[in-house]
Amino acid sequence: MVQEFVKISNSPIQFLSTLSGVEIWVKRDDLHDPFVSGNKLFKLKYNLAQAIKEEKNCLLTFGGAFSNHIAATASFAYQSGLKSIGIIRGEATDELNPTLRFAASKGMELTFTSREAYRQKNDPAFLTELQREHPNAFIIPEGGANVLGIKGSEEILNEDTQSFDAIACAIGTGTTVAGLLKACTEHQKIIGIPIHKHSQIMDEVLELDPTLKDHWHHLMLEPDFHFGGYAKWNQALIEFIQTFYRDHGLKLDPIYTGKALFALIECIKNDKVKSGSKVLFVHTGGLQSVPGFEERFKLKLFDKS
């Protein structure tokens, strides 16, 4: 039976520490679901509703081989009684990585494409042809980056988050931060941390929803913590994630949340956040990618010894 309505309960808000007079708290959206966790659940919520409204029986989307969005869409479709198709950037390998094995186990049909062909993912002519090939599929952009994804992301903030002076979050496609900007109260700042070098990302989000311009004054962008680019990392980042887990028991991933929390702490140390403030870090999930990362780079992120 197709699930027609998704109700997302409020996730717990956990105190982490006080640094330079700033209280740091974390919104544990990673606890919603192991695979449809964090911002993924919010971004997919209204895409699912629209798919059902249009009487589609399949979700079709795009992502890399380790994509949180691919894993989340596969699981969400499975839970909701729909089929799913993933257009995967890169060539097929003899053995699937943990992310793609999971997606396949949830019934996702995986279609591999070259990086050059993948760049057409937002081209109108390409999408028209893709829709013709899959008439029963509802097409969701990579990362859930559409107005429906923004609408869902607005619901990350609620009555429990209104007492915070700033909300900090990683920026991938920019969809989640766009939702936070639209939903925050007048006194709040949104600290956005891009995890890649794509400096035009917020301009692209503005094209999706021009009304965001009315909320732009809330945005505090911190673009210098991408560690070399998307999915790039160094030993300092790994040690930060490992130490943070040992000290606080909080798991972070090296692609999104690890970079974002590292950046937030550096901003506080450098007095970019006023002493006496309360800051909420939104944990956007993404932990499903960790086994693949550890397997690929022969690392262990979560060891308390």
| Residue found under tokens 């059902």 | 52
Shared domain check, 286 and 157: yes
Alpha helices in 115-251 (DSSP H): 115-118, 124-133, 147-153, 175-183, 201-208, 235-248
Q: What was the pLDDT predicted at 93?
A: 86
Last residue of a domain, one of 109, 126, 144: 144
Residues 6+ apart with CB under 8 A from 286: 30, 37, 38, 68, 253, 255, 256, 257
Query: 151 and 290 in one domain?
Result: yes
Full strand arrangement of the beta sheet holding 137-139: 108-113, 83-89, 58-63, 137-139
Residue 280 included in any domain: yes
Q: Which residues contact 270 (CB under 8 A, 6 or more apart)?
A: none
Same-domain check for residues 161 and 128: no
Residues 59 and 131 in one domain: yes
Q: Indicate if 21 and 162 belong to the same structural domain.
A: yes
Q: What's the pTM?
A: 0.95
- Domain range spanning residue 124? 40-144
**How many domains does the chain contain in total?**
2
Whether 101 and 173 map to the same domain: the answer is: no
pLDDT for the residue 305:
61
Model pLDDT, residue 5:
56
Mean pLDDT for each consecutive 10-residue tract of the chain (305 residues)?
66 97 98 91 96 97 96 97 97 92 97 95 96 98 97 97 98 97 98 94 93 96 96 97 95 97 98 98 96 93 81
